[in-house]
């Protein structure tokens, strides 16, 4: 017998409840966990991408605004100085420079100047530009330029010395002017973070610079630096012939600044009647880099994590700022730049000079889209081939065709999703082990009928009223319990359907009495509902002549006609996009801007009144009646709320409402009448006729009649 029982148990094998339940739960757990994990991973990735894009757009907008503000501040400053401190300085330097036209320099001074260009200027220029230059091409030939550079420029190899050199001790008028005005412009350079301040006379001569570099005394139209950004902003300023004009030039490799990227902002000096030259601010990339990091500590990019950055791209496709990775990983920068299309010599010079401005081209998709004037977000490789999430947009700076790209590495942005996937694997393994143990216990306690009942109960609890379970053909307690459950579920479904039908009817009735937001609050239990609205347009519209017209009709026919008018009012309100407040007989009160704030609420209400007039005319044509419309419209502050306890009515009140009601009666004849407030809010396309005046709070309110409201 024991042997037979053992064989019976072995025969059951996989058919036992415990085994089936175990396999079922394992399969369900694995599949459900995999499905949930997959969709969780996808939704998490999408959510993180959306959040990152939103953050990038926010940071990008902030940086764009900060760059715009920075350029605007520099423009305002140069404009202010060109009308202020630079006026007398320009006259003094112009006169002094002209006097130097016959000046002489010693052979020793000329030799020292040539040594400066040979030993200091050209080597540094070749280092930064990666090209060869002849020193003789830069040595000045004119008397004034030679004199100034011999006394000042040859000391400019030390930036601190050159900018602080107020007096060369030569006793010239130029030195006297420099001693007077150089301290002020030196402070301007320091306070505004400029690279230099330059003044030119009306002939294009550089008569003054704060740093006394190689462009001092040169002529932007004739000498070796002609054709560059300095000449462009100078020519624009001179041609404007206006003291309030400011011209802006893009960054370029400016040779007198040892080839450093330099941007020029210029404004004519003096007044409209007496322009003496042009004042130029030279901006360097360092200040712009600081702005794009969020004006924080250099190298710290606010709001962009460990890998993000915001950078500018010029019209030529090269960066207008310096790359974050160049400073954080210079060793790997060159190889990545070469891999994305940069020439090896250019990449090496970028690393050597620690500057990507005007050197590194951005061929990425975000930069390309932004250059076409588009704004948006995308996931794409950046200028070094990194997988990034990026937002892009035009920089919108007058005179500069720049675009702004804000990016962060996809690995950093989506890091939490990877952590989630790893944790999900561990959780899945733990869940499977728990289910194995739980299934053994559950199989010993519950039976199949009870599980069916449990499933039915859960279905009802989850909202599936009317759910049925298979009671089977059992005649025991489980069978009776199944039948009783099915009866209960059917009864619940029937009651729920009745409740939902009654609720739908109540909602329909309430929606006809008050706006949807008020309905929601009223259904939530609120009874004292009121609100104040600062800017709303209200219309009182009434159809006159209906009683006389329906006097020969039966009550049923009159009701049918009245319903037709009421539907016409509602159709006109929906077409104009305004909210119905209430209707009484042939009268209708509606508003715009009450529930949904709108800037064109006056226009919408006027369009509604015109729609009602058209509807009445069609009604007259169909039924042979002579109904007319009298409507009053006003805009202003109103109050709204529920009035009454047992019979609740939604109503509007206030001076604006009262005035809308009164303007209907000014002319004593049908039509659409508006207050002056409404008329002023409307643009073209409407014609009005002055019909009278109302007195409101001791002031006269003009009343206008709108043409088209049923006029012949």
Where are the CATH 1.10.8 domain residues in the chain? Answer: 448-513
Q: Across residues 351-368, what is the average pLDDT?
A: 92
Contact 322, 362 (CB under 8 A): no
- In the chain, the percentage of residues whose pLDDT exceeds 70 is 84
Residue carrying structure tokens 């000014």: 666
| Structure token pair of residue 671 | 């039509």
CA-based nearest residue to 678, from 532, 534, 538, 533:
538
The pLDDT tens digits for 408-418 are 998 988 888 77
| H/E element, 706 | strand 699-706
Give me the helices (H) in 280-414, please: 285-292, 324-328, 330-339, 344-353, 365-371, 410-413
Q: Which residues pair with 542 in a beta bridge?
A: 587, 630
The pLDDT tens digits for 451-488 are 666 677 777 777 777 677 766 666 666 566 667 767 77
Where are the CATH 3.30.450.20 domain residues in the chain? Answer: 84-287
Burial profile 452-475: b = 16 or more Cβ within 10 angstroms, e = fewer? bbeebeebbeeeebebebebeeee
pLDDT at 489 over 80: no
Pick the CATH number of 84-287 from 3.30.70.600, 3.90.1150.10, 3.30.450.20, 1.10.3660.10: 3.30.450.20
The pLDDT value given to residue 15: 53
* Coil, helix or strand at residue 649: strand
How far apart CA 87 and CA 107 sit, in angstroms, is: 35
CATH number of 526-706: 3.30.70.1230
How far apart CA 345 and CA 363 sit, in angstroms, is: 18
The pLDDT value given to residue 61: 93
How far apart CA 189 and CA 546 sit, in angstroms, is: 82
| Structure token pair of residue 45 | 């990735």
The pLDDT value given to residue 4: 46
CATH number of 448-513: 1.10.8
How far apart CA 122 and CA 110 sit, in angstroms, is: 17
Q: Name the band, by pLDDT with cuts 50, 70 and 90, for residue 508.
A: low
The pLDDT value given to residue 328: 86
Contact 548, 558 (CB under 8 A): no
- What is the crossing angle of helices 601-623 and 555-576, to 10°? 150
How far apart CA 75 and CA 210 sit, in angstroms, is: 18
Q: Across residues 539-552, what is the average pLDDT?
A: 87
How far apart CA 155 and CA 149 sit, in angstroms, is: 9
The pLDDT tens digits for 365-392 are 999 999 999 999 999 999 999 999 999 9
Instruction: Residue 642: count other Cβ atoms within 10 Å of its Cβ.
Output: 19
Q: Name the band, by pLDDT with cuts 50, 70 and 90, for residue 292.
A: confident
* Coil, helix or strand at residue 543: strand
Lowest mean pLDDT among 18-22, 61-65, 214-218, 368-372: 18-22
How far apart CA 704 and CA 631 sit, in angstroms, is: 12
pLDDT at 299 over 70: no
Q: Name the band, by pLDDT with cuts 50, 70 and 90, for residue 12.
A: very low
Higher-pLDDT residue of 269, 469: 269
The pLDDT value given to residue 2: 45
* Coil, helix or strand at residue 684: coil
Higher-pLDDT residue of 638, 42: 638
Q: What angle do CA 582, 585, 586 make, to 5 degrees?
A: 95
Instruction: Residue 202: count other Cβ atoms within 10 Å of its Cβ.
Output: 15
How many Cα atoms occupy the beta-carbon half-sphere of 566 within 13 Å? 11
Q: Name the band, by pLDDT with cuts 50, 70 and 90, for residue 20.
A: low
Contacts by 434-442, CB closer than 8 A, 24 or more apart: 435/22, 435/25, 435/26, 435/29, 436/22, 436/26, 438/25, 439/18, 439/21, 439/22, 439/25, 439/26, 440/18, 440/22, 442/21
Q: Name the band, by pLDDT with cuts 50, 70 and 90, for residue 492.
A: confident
Higher-pLDDT residue of 318, 161: 318
How far apart CA 480 and CA 128 sit, in angstroms, is: 95
Q: Which residues pair with 572 in a beta bridge?
A: none
How far apart CA 653 and CA 386 sit, in angstroms, is: 63
Burial class of residue 368 (count of CB atoms within 10 Å of its CB; 0-12, 13-18, 19+)? middle
How far apart CA 257 and CA 602 sit, in angstroms, is: 61
Q: Name the band, by pLDDT with cuts 50, 70 and 90, for residue 666.
A: confident
How many Cα atoms occupy the beta-carbon half-sphere of 536 within 13 Å? 29
Taking the whole predicted model, whether its pTM rises above 0.85 is answered as: no
The pLDDT tens digits for 599-637 are 888 899 999 989 898 989 999 899 888 899 999 998 888
Lowest mean pLDDT among 36-40, 314-318, 352-356: 36-40
Q: Name the band, by pLDDT with cuts 50, 70 and 90, for residue 645.
A: low
Mean pLDDT score across all residues of the chain = 83
The pLDDT value given to residue 652: 79
The pLDDT tens digits for 158-178 are 666 677 888 888 899 999 999
The pLDDT value given to residue 5: 40
Residue carrying structure tokens 């539907």: 567
């Amino acid at each position: 017998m024991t042997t037979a029982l053992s064989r019976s148990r072995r025969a059951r094998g996989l058919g036992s409840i415990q085994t089936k339940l175990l396999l079922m739960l394992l399969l369900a757990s694995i599949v459900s966990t995999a499905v949930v994990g997959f969709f969780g991973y996808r939704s998490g990735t999408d959510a993180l991408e959306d959040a990152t894009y939103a953050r990038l757009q926010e940071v990008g907008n902030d940086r764009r605004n900060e760059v715009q503000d920075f350029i605007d501040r520099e423009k305002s400053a140069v404009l202010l100085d060109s009308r202020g401190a630079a006026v007398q300085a320009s006259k003094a330097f112009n006169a002094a420079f002209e006097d130097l036209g016959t000046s002489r320099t010693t052979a020793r001074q000329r030799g020292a100047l040539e040594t400066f260009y040979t030993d200091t200027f050209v080597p540094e220029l070749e280092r930064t530009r990666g090209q060869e230059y002849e020193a003789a091409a830069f040595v000045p030939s004119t008397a004034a330029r030679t004199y100034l550079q011999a006394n000042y420029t040859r000391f400019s190899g030390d930036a601190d010395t050159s900018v602080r050199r107020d007096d060369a001790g030569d006793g010239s008028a130029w030195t006297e002017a420099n001693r007077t005005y150089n301290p002020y412009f030196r402070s301007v350079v320091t306070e505004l973070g400029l690279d230099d301040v330059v003044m030119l006379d009306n002939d294009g001569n550089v008569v003054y610079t704060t740093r006394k570099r190689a462009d001092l005394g040169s002529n932007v139209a004739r000498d070796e630096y002609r054709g560059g950004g300095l000449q462009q902003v100078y020519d624009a300023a001179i041609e404007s012939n206006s003291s309030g004009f400011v011209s802006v030039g893009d960054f370029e490799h400016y040779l007198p600044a040892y080839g450093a990227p330099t941007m020029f902002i210029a404004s004519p000096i003096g007044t409209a009647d007496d322009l003496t030259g042009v004042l130029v601010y030279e901006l360097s990339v360092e200040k712009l880099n600081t702005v794009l990091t969020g004006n924080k500590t250099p190298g710290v990019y606010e709001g962009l994590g460990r890998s993000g950055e915001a950078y500018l791209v010029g019209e030529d496709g090269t960066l207008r700022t310096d790359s974050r990775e160049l400073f954080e990983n210079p060793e790997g920068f060159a190889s990545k730049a070469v891999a994305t299309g940069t020439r090896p010599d250019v990449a090496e010079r970028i690393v050597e000079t620690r500057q990507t401005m005007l050197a590194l081209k951005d061929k990425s998709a975000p930069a390309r889209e932004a250059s076409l004037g588009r704004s948006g977000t995308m996931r794409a490789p950046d200028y070094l081939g990194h997988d990034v999430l990026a937002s892009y947009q035009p920089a919108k700076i007058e005179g500069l065709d720049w675009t702004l790209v804000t990016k962060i590495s996809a690995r950093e942005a989506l890091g939490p999703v990877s952590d989630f996937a790893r944790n999900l694997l561990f959780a899945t393994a733990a869940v499977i082990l728990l289910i194995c143990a739980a299934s053994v216990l559950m199989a010993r306690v519950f039976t199949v009928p009870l599980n069916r009942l449990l499933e039915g109960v859960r279905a009802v609890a989850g909202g599936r009223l009317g759910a049925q379970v298979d009671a089977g053909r059992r005649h025991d307690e489980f069978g009776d319990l199944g039948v009783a459950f099915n009866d209960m579920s059917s009864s619940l479904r029937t009651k729920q359907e009745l409740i939902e039908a009654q609720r739908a009817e109540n909602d329909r009735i309430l929606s006809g009495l008050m706006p949807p937001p008020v309905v929601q609050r009223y259904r939530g239990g609120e009874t004292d509902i009121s609100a104040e609205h600062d800017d709303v347009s209200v219309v009182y519209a009434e159809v006159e002549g209906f009683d006389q017209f329906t006097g020969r009709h039966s009550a049923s026919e009159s009701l049918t006609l009245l319903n037709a008018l009421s539907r016409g009012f509602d159709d006109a309100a929906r077409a104009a996009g305004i909210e119905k407040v209430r209707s009484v007989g042939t009268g209708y009160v509606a508003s715009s801007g009450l529930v949904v704030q709108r800037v064109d609420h006056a226009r919408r209400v006027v369009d509604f009144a015109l729609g009602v007039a058209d509807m009445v005319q069609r009604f007259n044509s169909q039924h042979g009646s002579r109904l007319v419309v009298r409507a009053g419209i006003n805009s202003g502050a109103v109050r709204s709320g529920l009035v009454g306890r047992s019979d609740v009515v939604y109503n509007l009140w206030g001076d604006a409402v009262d005035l809308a009601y009164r303007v209907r009666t000014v002319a004593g004849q049908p039509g659409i009448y508006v207050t002056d407030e409404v008329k002023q809010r409307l643009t073209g396309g409407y014609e009005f006729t002055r019909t009278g005046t109302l007195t409101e709070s001791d002031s006269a309110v003009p009343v206008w009649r709108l043409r088209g409201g049923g006029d012949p």
